[in-house]
Structure 1
C-alpha cells in the first residue's frame, strides 16, 4: 500500500511541476518606462509599443528593496488575459 501511495505522490508532484511550467510560458515579457508612481507599489508604465499599462512590483523586487522611480526602464510580465495590468520583474540599469 505504501508503494502505491509513494508512486501517486511522485506522479502528483511531476504533474504539478508541469502545470507550473505551462502557466509560466503563457506570460508575455515586455520592456517599458515608468511614467507615474501610484500608491501601494503600483506604477503607470509606457511600453515599447506605446501602450500604457499599470504594473505592480514582484515579490523579489519588494524583498530586495529595489527602488523604482519615474524614468526607470523596467521589464514587465503581462498576462494574455488582461493586457492592461502587469508585474514588474526587473529594473534595468
Structure 2
C-alpha cells in the first residue's frame, strides 16, 4: 500500500506493552495498536505514555497503525 493511501489520525499514547506496541487513544474513544515507523526507530525518537502522536492507519484494518510523528510539548 502506498504512503498516500494511509489515513492520518491524531491521538494520545495511553498504554505501552512489550515488543514496542503502543495503545493510542483517539478522541472518539477508540483504541488503536501501533508501532513506531522506521525513521523514528532510526533516529531514536522516544515515545512515552501521555505523548500526542500522529498515527498512520490503513483503511482496510483501522485497528493497527504506525506512529509517524510525536508532537513537542
Larger Rg: 1
Aligned residues: 72
1:65 to 44, 55, 66: 44
Bigger strand fraction = 2
Q: Distance in 2 between matches of 1:79 and 1:90?
A: 16
How far is the alpha carbon of 1:47 from its aligned partner? 1.2
- TM-score, scaled to structure 1: 0.73
Q: Distance in 2 between matches of 1:41 and 1:59?
A: 12
Q: For the aligned residues, what is the CA RMSD?
A: 1.2
Tell me, which stretches of 5 or more residues in structure 2 are unaligned?
A: none
Q: Distance in 2 between matches of 1:25 and 1:67?
A: 25
Q: Aligned residue for 2:14?
A: 35
- TM-score, scaled to structure 2: 0.92
Q: Distance in 1 between matches of 2:44 and 2:53?
A: 15
Bigger helix fraction = 1
